[in-house]
Amino acid sequence: MLLHMFYFFFFIPCVLFVVLPQPLVVDGLREIRTKQPHFDESPTYLWPLPAEFTSGDEVFTVDPSLELVVDGAGGASDIVREAFERYRKIIFEHSGSDYVAGRFRFKRVLRESIISEYDVSQLKITVHSDNEELQFGVDESYTLLVSAGEVTIEANTVYGALRGIETFSQLCAFDYTTKTVQIHKAPWVIHDQPRFAYRGLMLDTSRHYLPATVIKQIIDSMSYAKFNVLHWHIIDEESFPLEVPSYPNLWNGSYTKWERYTVEDAYDIVNFAKTRGINVMAEVDVPGHAESWGAGYPDLWPSPTCREPLDVSKNFTFDVVSGILTELRKIFPFELFHLGGDEVNTDCWSQTPHVKQWLQNNNFATKDAYRYFVLKAQEIALSKNWTPVNWEETFNAFPSKLSPQTIVHNWLGPGVCPKAAAKGFRCIYSNQGVWYLDHLDVPWDEVYTAEPLEGISDASQQKLVIGGEVCMWGETVDTSDIQQTIWPRAAAAAERLWSPRESTLKANITSTTLPRLLNFRCLLNRRGVAAAPVRHFYARQAPDRAGSCYVQ
Amino acid sequence: MLLHMFYFFFFIPCVLFVVLPQPLVVDGLREIRTKQPHFDESPTYLWPLPAEFTSGDEVFTVDPSLELVVDGAGGASDIVREAFERYRKIIFEHSGSDYVAGRFRFKRVLRESIISEYDVSQLKITVHSDNEELQFGVDESYTLLVSAGEVTIEANTVYGALRGIETFSQLCAFDYTTKTVQIHKAPWVIHDQPRFAYRGLMLDTSRHYLPATVIKQIIDSMSYAKFNVLHWHIIDEESFPLEVPSYPNLWNGSYTKWERYTVEDAYDIVNFAKTRGINVMAEVDVPGHAESWGAGYPDLWPSPTCREPLDVSKNFTFDVVSGILTELRKIFPFELFHLGGDEVNTDCWSQTPHVKQWLQNNNFATKDAYRYFVLKAQEIALSKNWTPVNWEETFNAFPSKLSPQTIVHNWLGPGVCPKAAAKGFRCIYSNQGVWYLDHLDVPWDEVYTAEPLEGISDASQQKLVIGGEVCMWGETVDTSDIQQTIWPRAAAAAERLWSPRESTLKANITSTTLPRLLNFRCLLNRRGVAAAPVRHFYARQAPDRAGSCYVQ
């Protein structure tokens, strides 16, 4: 009765022919519509693909009054209950919104006249641990069983339960003929867990300010693809939007007095993310990319006319760095903290008299001063019980000096994680050629086939690659276009980071992966996320003609 | 103490210099930041501009525990209470979301340590009528008084109260220094009402299906600009997403079985819109633009190879039209109903033998058959107590034959409403050269300066222009880009339709209107709406560099 997961790969191509007989041909769409063969098919697509799963050939109906039953030490968690309520709205969107409850009683009557009883009326969630700490490496595994009469999710942590609920929501599809939510290819047995512990998306709120509401929208969408780290590149040279109470002039570097985050806003974002199983890793990029700091404290500039990097010669500079980190430590419980360290042009140091003098006094070349700054920042972070993350330049320049705890954040190109792992460093993969979302000329399949472990064959070294991250730099991205620039390409990376390497490698990318991604993009759209058409070469391009979401 | 509204126009330019010293110059932004003069200014911008208002020079603080007090026969309405709760979240967004309530108790403590008492702790809303019927011409007027200790909104209907609450929300601004919500330039006396009774936005769900969630997002955003009609162009030649229970095969013309609206979905959208004071005008475009109908009922095509317009020769065609309208009448209570009638190419009628024969039998030229179809559809709509709306082609072709109740919907160019009004017809202005949002090469100021009454000097004829509508045709618009294509340009039309002609004409568009629109765009962004940069020549263009929302 239950079939092995490989069934999935053999089965999909048959379904596919129906869904995509003549992709992107509008006249072909008309043919689909008039022939309608696809109306008899209900493929169930999951994104990202679970680690192990089997499915059957039955169709179960789901009761719109689906009841949550919890068990285990952690089952009574607010995080679980609130997630259930969120997903109930998603799964039963066609039952009308809350506010109309009672106004359309006929709807239930109508439904009940068709369906006398449902196959699934309970979702049972068992969470073994009541420890809700969300840390690096938290157990996100879950087992999802769908059988007649019962759906059970079993997880060690509430965060595993969240992943299971997301998967359950993707199994549920509204059937327009019977007007019920159905689960196709039931029964299901899913044992799932992530391939990598770190699955990140970076947001840049310095080039363009993103309102907290917008960041929360993005966090919600991240959870649909099972991302688990929001790397918040809060400040950069263009603007400093964050409040730092001990240095209250720092956010004078914001674009305007309305484009700011209070400490409470930041807390709120961190806790919102936590309820979605997403850690927030803050970044304070030093010593470059920090010109905006000087808007409030011009002493941080080498001089008023030469403003970057931060003045390495002053104790005040490190007082401010330490002050910022002290404040941020109260807000960001995640054990990883990003110290930047990229693209440091030290000309201002060698050209500004008092800094030049300091370099000479210390017998420092500018590269020595760069190392001095980075290591001093690392010390500050380490003293606050943070694991420092640095962009790869620090590793490329002085690997043997870095704290061995350093996590190297690759970006410049391929081949860095192999080198970092060979030296015993942990690594995050973000090769800009494939995982920088601001590179608009990278189509989805190039994002998808990128491989964080490329060039690393030794198993113990592979383990040092903790995962990867897609980066959404903000020069041409603001509230108006950020969702369409992130999605659907971020989803391609999300599956690479979640699903077993074998299953993603084995898949025929055109015949099995593409239709699942098309489906996931339409799922994002249904949930209100402005994910762009999948098939365009350039990202975030408008659809170029009328047509179905499922082929564009 | 209270200053006349013209104060506003003299005051703004002074503020402006501070906000926009070197627009779009990044180096200029840096100067703004380091000089920071604008941090001392808090201009209050309203969009659309109220009919009459006076303001003062005080700053009031607003209690985050703002209490709603209602009065009048209609004050206890759910619509008012729910709106208050929605706007409370918008106004007090920096107080954290519901779900964190209790987790950050220190926040209140922090705030209270700064603020001992608030100037405004009550919002009193008086609604005189308990009639919640939302119909064409419903009274949307309101009076908003903001004085120390009390804010009152007085309106005849709940819909006037909604407009007043929106205006109140725009007066409220979070101050990052004191961490309180403030109202600047208080006290305020605002007497407001719309210039036109019909202020529409058209959505096209045939070229691309828009999920119900997305339509609701757009409805919410419409209410921020005080639009009051969603013209729902549900079906067209490309797809037929709507369920019609008496002709259950019609929605076989949907792109896929997942891109559909049930009757309940449509009800839900209508009622969601009602709670925002927005009527939904449905459109069933006949006899052209209807090819998708034949996917379910091929008899509606003249022949399988010549599919448009609908077969004028068969009674079955009119049975289906009548059947659809019967079903839609149950869903759409708005008294206006759009019957299309545009772009009818009758070649299939003259080329298909049985239709050609029918034309000859009736002694009809094809243009006579076009008129016959349109008038028959009008009769069906009128019999259902609907006021028919037609695209202007029907008026251009046979004005004297149209039902005198017909509302002519202009689109082809300027000059049609004057002609229609001269013949006694009511008219909706949508000149495609300025108000078709799919025309991307129309910058915001051309949208703004369009004038529905252009070419009409007679006051009684002016009254026949019931308003205007911006149209968002869907060929290159789907969930991924619809918000950025609608906004901010739709807002330009919204002010034209709401605010007194004198005040919008008098304004210096660059020095007073533009900064208000920039501010409104940023307000939309803060509320999670993907409104695009204002200043680009082409619509929905990505920001081309880093910078503040308030200048882009």
ipTM summary value: 0.91
- Which chain B residue shows the shortest CA-CA distance from A240? B33
Q: How far is CA B128 from CA A286, B147, B153, B276, in A?
A: 61, 21, 11, 18
Interchain contact A249–B (C-beta under 8 A): no
In B266-285, the residues whose Cβ lies within 8 Å of chain A are 267-268, 271-272, 275
pLDDT tens, residue by residue, A25-42: 333 333 333 333 333 355
Most A CBs within 10 Å: which of B256, B275, B327, B518, as the mutation test of the A interface? Answer: B256
- Given a cut of 80, whether residue B433 has pLDDT beyond it is yes
pLDDT tens, residue by residue, B240-278: 999 999 999 999 999 999 999 999 999 999 999 999 999
CA-based nearest residue to A321, from A266, A392, A388: A388
Say what the pLDDT of residue A43 is: 62
CA distance A69 to A151: 10
DSSP one-letter string for A157-216: SHHHHHHHHHHHHHHEEEETTTTEEEEEEEEEEEEE--S-SEEEEEEETTTS---HHHHH
In A402-461, the residues whose Cβ lies within 8 Å of chain B are none
CA distance A287 to A305: 17
Kindly tell me the sign of the dihedral angle through the C-alpha atoms of B15, B19, B25, B27.
positive
What does the pLDDT average to over B395-417? 97
Residue ranges of the alpha helices (H) in A352-477? 353-361, 366-383, 392-397, 416-422, 432-435, 444-449, 459-462
Say what the pLDDT of residue A41 is: 55
Instruction: Answer whether B120's CB lies under 8 Å from B63's CB.
Output: yes
Q: What is the pTM of this model?
A: 0.91
CA-based nearest residue to B140, from B152, B158, B166: B158
A454 labelled catalytic: no
Q: Which of A43-47, A85-89, A484-488, B436-440 has the lowest mean pLDDT?
A: A43-47
- B-chain CB neighbours of A103 within 8 Å are 271
- Given a cut of 80, whether residue A7 has pLDDT beyond it is no
- Given a cut of 70, whether residue B233 has pLDDT beyond it is yes
Residue ranges of the alpha helices (H) in A200-314? 212-224, 263-274
Instruction: Answer whether A204's CB lies under 8 Å from A474's CB.
Output: yes
Most B CBs within 10 Å: which of A27, A256, A297, A522, as the mutation test of the B interface? Answer: A256
pLDDT > 90 fraction of chain B, expressed in percent and rounded? 85
Interchain contact B511–A (C-beta under 8 A): no
Task: Compute how many other C-beta atoms are within 10 angstroms of the C-beta atom of residue A149.
Answer: 10
- B-chain CB neighbours of A480 within 8 Å are 483-484, 525, 530-533, 540, 542-543
HSE-up (13 A, CA, CB side) for residue B467: 23
Q: Which of A244-253, A480-489, B25-34, B214-223 has the lowest mean pLDDT?
A: B25-34
What does the pLDDT average to over A524-532? 98
Say what the pLDDT of residue B42 is: 54
Say what the pLDDT of residue B8 is: 34
Q: Which amino acid is at B535?
A: R
CA distance A440 to A432: 11
- Nearest CB to A527; choose among B97, B213, B475: B213
Say what the pLDDT of residue B6 is: 34
**Closest Cα of chain B to A376: distance in Å?**
28
Angle between helices B212-224 and B263-274 (to 10 degrees): 20
Interchain contact B540–A (C-beta under 8 A): yes
- A-chain CB neighbours of B258 within 8 Å are 173-174, 176, 522, 550
In B173-192, the residues whose Cβ lies within 8 Å of chain A are 173-174, 176-177, 179
Most B CBs within 10 Å: which of A84, A270, A479, as the mutation test of the B interface? Answer: A479
Q: Which of A63-67, A322-326, B148-152 has the lowest mean pLDDT?
A: B148-152
Pull the structure tokens for residue B92. Answer: 């007090």
Interchain contact A319–B (C-beta under 8 A): no
CA distance B442 to B493: 12
**Closest Cα of chain A to B92: distance in Å?**
11
Q: Do B533 and A480 touch (CB under 8 A)?
A: yes
- Given a cut of 90, whether residue A223 has pLDDT beyond it is yes
Interchain contact A80–B (C-beta under 8 A): no
CA-based nearest residue to A466, from A396, A413, A408, A392: A408
- Given a cut of 50, whether residue A201 has pLDDT beyond it is yes
DSSP one-letter string for B44-69: ---SSPPSEEEEEEEEEEEEEEEEEE
User: Of these residues, A52, A343, A379, A454, which one is catalytic?
Assistant: A343
- State yes or no: cis peptide before A488, omega within 30 of 0: yes
pLDDT tens, residue by residue, B391-403: 999 999 999 999 9
Q: Which of A170-184, B6-20, B325-339 has the lowest mean pLDDT?
A: B6-20
Three-state DSSP class for residue A337? strand
Tokens 């030229």 label which residue?
B365
CA distance A489 to A309: 33
Tokens 């200029």 label which residue?
B28
Say what the pLDDT of residue A18 is: 29
List, in sequence order, every beta strand (DSSP E) within B234-374.
279-283, 336-338
**Closest Cα of chain A to B453: distance in Å?**
32
Exposed, middle or buried, B91 (CB in 10 Å: 0-12/13-18/19+)? buried
- Given a cut of 90, whether residue A10 has pLDDT beyond it is no
- Nearest CB to B260; choose among A176, A525, A533: A176
Interchain contact A259–B (C-beta under 8 A): yes
- Nearest CB to B480; choose among A34, A268, A530: A530
Residues whose CB is less than 8 angstroms from the CB of residue A363 and which lie 6 or more positions away in sequence, other chains included: none
Kindly indicate the confidence band of residue B107, based on its pLDDT and cuts at 50, 70 and 90: very low
Instruction: Answer whether A285's CB lies under 8 Å from A291's CB.
Output: no
Q: Which of A14-18, A397-401, B249-253, B433-437 has the lowest mean pLDDT?
A: A14-18
Most B CBs within 10 Å: which of A20, A31, A33, A109, as the mutation test of the B interface? Answer: A33
Say what the pLDDT of residue B26 is: 34
Say what the pLDDT of residue A42 is: 54
